[in-house]
Chain A
Amino acid sequence: MDDLIKLVKTYRVTAGEPERLRLGDQVFRMIERDLRLFVFGLVKPEAAEDVLQESLKDMAMALGTFRGATVQQFWAWCYRIVRHKIGDHRRKQASGRLEDLPHEEFWQLVEASTKTTPLTPADRHDLEYALSLLDKAKPECREYLWQHFVFGMDYAEIAVEEKITYDTARMRIGRCLEEAQSLVA
Chain B
Amino acid sequence: MANKTTADGENALRKLGERLREGATNSRAVSEKSLQTVKDGISEQCRQDRQASRDKSLEPEPSKERDRKPPEIDRDR
Q: Which residues of A are interface residues toward B (Cβ below 8 A)?
A: 17, 20-21, 24-25, 28-29, 32-34, 36-37, 49, 52-53, 56-64, 106, 108-113, 115-117, 119, 123, 126-127, 129-134, 145, 149-152, 174, 177-178, 180-181, 184-185
Residue numbers in A under 8 Å from B4 (CB-CB)? 129, 181, 184-185
Are A21 and B20 neighbours in the complex by a CB distance under 8 Å? no
Residue numbers in A under 8 Å from B17 (CB-CB)? 149-152
Are B15 and A60 neighbours in the complex by a CB distance under 8 Å? no
**Majority secondary structure, A binding face:** helix
Residue numbers in A under 8 Å from B67 (CB-CB)? none
**Majority secondary structure, B binding face:** helix
Kindly state the separation between the CA atoms of A21 and B28 in the bound complex, as whole angstroms. 22
Q: A28-B38, A33-B30, A127-B16 are in contact. List 9 more A-B contacts (CB 8 A).
A: A20-B46, A32-B34, A56-B41, A57-B38, A109-B24, A111-B23, A117-B19, A181-B9, A184-B1
Query: Does B10 count as interface, using CB distance less than 8 angstroms?
Result: yes
Give the number of residues in B that approach A within 8 Å (Cβ atoms). 39
CB-CB contacts of B1-14 with A at 8 A, as 1s and 0s? Answer: 11010101111111
Known: A60-B41, A61-B44, A152-B17. Is A126-B12 also a contact (CB below 8 A)?
yes
Are B14 and A150 neighbours in the complex by a CB distance under 8 Å? yes
Q: Which of B23, B30, B33 has the most CB of A within 10 A?
A: B23
CB distance from A162 to the nearest CB of B (A): 19
Kindly state the separation between the CA atoms of A49 and B22 in the bound complex, as whole angstroms. 20
Are B21 and A130 neighbours in the complex by a CB distance under 8 Å? no
